[in-house]
Structure 1
Amino acid sequence: MRTDWLTAQEAAERLGISVLTLYDWLAQSNRGKFMLRGQAFSIDYLQGGRRGQGRIRIEADEIDRMLDAMRVKPRQRPRRRVPMPQQHYPGITVKLGYPGQ
Structure 2
Amino acid sequence: MSDELLDSETASKRLGVSTLTLYGWLSASDAGEFQIRGQAVTIDYFQSGRRGQGRIRISKNEVNRLLELMRVRPKSHRRRNRPTRKQARQHITSSLGRPDD
Matched, 1:13 2:7: no
Helix, strand or coil at the partner of 1:90: coil
Q: Unaligned 5+ residue runs, structure 1?
A: 96-101
- Work out the percentage of aligned pairs sharing the same amino acid: 48
Indicate the residue corresponding to 1:22 in structure 2. Answer: 22
Indicate the residue corresponding to 2:61 in structure 1. Answer: 61
Indicate the residue corresponding to 2:39 in structure 1. Answer: 39
Distance 1:10 1:28 in 2: 20
TM-score, scaled to structure 1: 0.84
2:65 partner amino acid: R
TM-score, scaled to structure 2: 0.84
After the TM superposition, which segments of 4 or more aligned residues of structure 1 sit over 3 Å from their partners? 92-95
Q: Say which is worse superposed, 82-91 or 50-59, in terms of deviation.
A: 82-91
| CA root-mean-square deviation | 1.7
1:25 partner amino acid: W
Matched, 1:70 2:73: no
Helix, strand or coil at the partner of 2:84: coil
Helix, strand or coil at the partner of 1:52: coil
The offset of 1:94, in angstroms, is 8.7
Helix, strand or coil at the partner of 2:57: strand
Q: Unaligned 5+ residue runs, structure 2?
A: 97-101
Between the two proteins, the alignment pairs up a number of residues equal to 95
Helix, strand or coil at the partner of 1:50: coil
Indicate the residue corresponding to 1:86 in structure 2. Answer: 86
Indicate the residue corresponding to 2:99 in structure 1. Answer: none
Distance 1:31 1:19 in 2: 19
1:58 partner amino acid: I
